[in-house]
């Protein structure tokens, strides 16, 4: 089976598992509706996402055309984020813009287009210093427009992409050394000037442990759900914690808690390995054009960081930040943008195999 097909099928499987978990998390046995609005909406998002993937995967654009598409997408989504900053806040944050009856979160798309643009930037035949400067400009400006929404979780992703991009084009040891120095100097500054009190409380609560009704409440409830799942779980639709609305955001950021409670350690491990399979397949696509290779590394890092942070958060080892689990969590923007990510990669493969034109 071709790499693209393997990737798509794995992602699609995660998507279907996600739908089942969203159903379990949001079903209301007393309602006349067979499925909740969340499930029907996520189904539509899945179809839109899958079609997006297929359309992109079957195109054979030149790399120049891809470059224009990605940089154009970067600019459009950047404007989208700025537009969102002026929207009415929902749950205290201005992350969304209303497009007709749809609510879009442009920062999710911005991630994909940033990765695409960075891939072209890294593989361009520029001075390394200039490249580093450009990487810094792009990732920092993306970070800034998103962090003021406020959405620290998503904003930090751009710093990670920038860091990975820098890492790829420099000498690894020197870069890591410089990073360590930056972290030791920067962390106290971030703590004092960037983090909001509620964010600090989450971190403190995490370090101190038990705090059932306080800042750590979500973490504690999530750990109860996960821990009570045991080896094989309580069974589909049998989860008491996640279904009793004890966990807020159980269908989005904490969807993995539903999985862990209902399908236990075995179910969790299967999904974790499936995710890891997608990530590693992406990261080890050697023998491609440099731009495609860099893009796939960045795409793997994106999915890996999101899934990893989400897992640690559900397990109570990481403060509660709004990071969705790729393909599993409810949310159209996140789901479609991840399909977009895979679609761009598949499209890249087409162009690179069909043109001998060096990028």
78/255 with CB nearer other proteins:
255
Query: According to the binding rule CB under 8 A, does residue 43 interact with other proteins?
Result: no
Query: According to the binding rule CB under 8 A, does residue 248 interact with other proteins?
Result: no
Query: According to the binding rule CB under 8 A, does residue 246 interact with other proteins?
Result: yes
- The mark string for 113-152 relative to other proteins (x by CB under 8 A, - otherwise) is ----------------------------------------
Query: According to the binding rule CB under 8 A, does residue 12 interact with other proteins?
Result: no
241/338 with CB nearer other proteins:
241
Query: According to the binding rule CB under 8 A, does residue 172 interact with other proteins?
Result: yes
Closest approach of Cβ 180 to other proteins, in Å?
14
Instruction: Please choose, out of 135-143, 180-188, 239-247, 346-354, the segment that lies near other proteins by the rule CB under 8 A.
Output: 239-247
150/308 with CB nearer other proteins:
308
By CB under 8 A, the residues from 147 to 166 that bind other proteins are: 164
46/241 with CB nearer other proteins:
241
Instruction: Please choose, out of 45-53, 125-133, 273-281, 330-338, the segment that lies near other proteins by the rule CB under 8 A.
Output: 273-281
Instruction: Please choose, out of 46-54, 140-148, 293-301, 329-337, the segment that lies near other proteins by the rule CB under 8 A.
Output: 293-301
Query: According to the binding rule CB under 8 A, does residue 183 interact with other proteins?
Result: no
Query: According to the binding rule CB under 8 A, does residue 72 interact with other proteins?
Result: no
73/229 with CB nearer other proteins:
229
Query: According to the binding rule CB under 8 A, does residue 312 interact with other proteins?
Result: yes
Interacting residues of 59 by C-beta distance below 8 A, sequence separation 6+ = 347, 350
Query: According to the binding rule CB under 8 A, does residue 301 interact with other proteins?
Result: yes
In angstroms, how far apart are the furthest CA atoms of the chain?
A: 64
Query: According to the binding rule CB under 8 A, does residue 243 interact with other proteins?
Result: yes
Query: According to the binding rule CB under 8 A, does residue 276 interact with other proteins?
Result: yes
CB 337 within 8 A of CB 108: yes
85/288 with CB nearer other proteins:
288
Closest approach of Cβ 292 to other proteins, in Å?
12
308/322 with CB nearer other proteins:
308
User: What's the 3-state SS for the chain?
Assistant: CCHHHHHHHHHHHHHHHHHHHHHHHHCCCCCCCCCCHHHHHHHHHHHHHHHHHHHHHCCCCCHHHHHHHHHHHHHHHHHHHHHHHCCCCECCECCCEEECCEEECHHHHHHHHHHHHHHHHHHCCCCHHHHHHHHHHHHHHHHHHHHCCCCHHHHHHHHHHHHHHHHHHCCHHHHHHHHHHHHHHHHHHHHHHHCCHHHHHHHHHHHHCCCCCCCCHHHHHHHHHHHCCCCCCCCCCCCHHHHCCCCCCCCCCCHHHHHHHHHHHHHHHHHHHHHHHHHHHHHCCCCCCHHHHHHHHHHHHHHHHHHHHHHHHHCCCCCCCCCCCCCCCCCHHHHHHHHHHHHHHHHHHHHHHHCCCCC
Rounded CA-CA distance 64/276 in Å is 31
CB 65 within 8 A of CB 352: no
Nearest to 11 by CA among 243, 282, 246, 245: 282
Closest approach of Cβ 174 to other proteins, in Å?
12
Indicate which single residue of 51, 68, 244, 354 sits in contact with other proteins (rule: CB under 8 A): 244
CB 45 within 8 A of CB 336: yes
Query: According to the binding rule CB under 8 A, does residue 280 interact with other proteins?
Result: yes
Footprint on this chain of other proteins (rule: CB under 8 A):
28-30, 164, 167-168, 172, 223-231, 240-241, 243-246, 260, 264-265, 268-269, 272, 275-276, 279-280, 283-284, 293-294, 297, 300-301, 304-305, 307-309, 311-312, 315-317
């Amino acid at each position: 089976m071709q790499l693209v097909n393997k990737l798509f099928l794995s992602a699609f499987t995660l998507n279907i598992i996600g739908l089942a978990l969203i159903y379990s998390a949001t079903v209301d046995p007393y309602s006349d509706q067979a499925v909740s609005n969340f499930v029907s909406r996520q189904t539509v998002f899945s179809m839109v996402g899958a079609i997006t993937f297929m359309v992109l995967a079957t195109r054979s654009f030149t790399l120049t055309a891809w470059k224009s598409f990605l940089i154009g997408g970067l600019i459009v989504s950047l404007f989208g984020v700025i537009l969102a900053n002026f929207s009415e806040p929902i749950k205290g944050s201005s992350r969304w813009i209303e497009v007709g009856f749809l609510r879009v979160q442009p920062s999710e798309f911005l991630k994909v287009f940033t990765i695409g643009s960075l891939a072209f930037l890294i593989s361009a035949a520029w001075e390394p210093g200039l490249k580093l400067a450009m990487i810094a400009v792009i990732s920092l400006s993306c970070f800034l427009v998103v962090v003021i929404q406020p959405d620290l979780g998503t904003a930090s992703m751009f710093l990670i992409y920038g860091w990975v991009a820098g890492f790829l084009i420099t000498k690894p040891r020197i870069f890591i050394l410089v990073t360590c120095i930056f972290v030791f100097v920067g962390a106290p500054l971030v703590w004092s000037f960037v983090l909001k009190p509620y964010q600090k409380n989450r971190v403190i609560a995490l370090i101190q442990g038990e705090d059932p009704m306080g800042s750590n409440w979500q973490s504690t409830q999530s750990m109860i759900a996960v821990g009570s799942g045991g080896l094989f779980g309580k069974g589909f639709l049998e989860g008491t914690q996640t279904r009793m609305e004890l966990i807020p955001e159980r269908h989005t950021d904490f969807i993995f808690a539903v999985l862990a409670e209902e399908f236990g350690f075995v179910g969790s491990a299967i999904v974790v390995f499936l995710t890891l399979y997608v990530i590693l397949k992406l990261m080890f696509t050697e023998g491609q054009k440099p731009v495609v290779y860099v893009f796939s590394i960045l795409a793997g890092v994106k999915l890996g960081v999101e899934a990893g942070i989400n897992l640690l958060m559900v397990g109570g080892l990481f403060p509660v930040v709004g990071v969705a689990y790729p393909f599993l969590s409810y949310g159209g923007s996140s789901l479609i943008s991840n399909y977009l990510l895979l679609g761009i990669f598949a499209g890249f493969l087409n162009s690179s195999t069909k043109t001998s034109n060096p990028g």
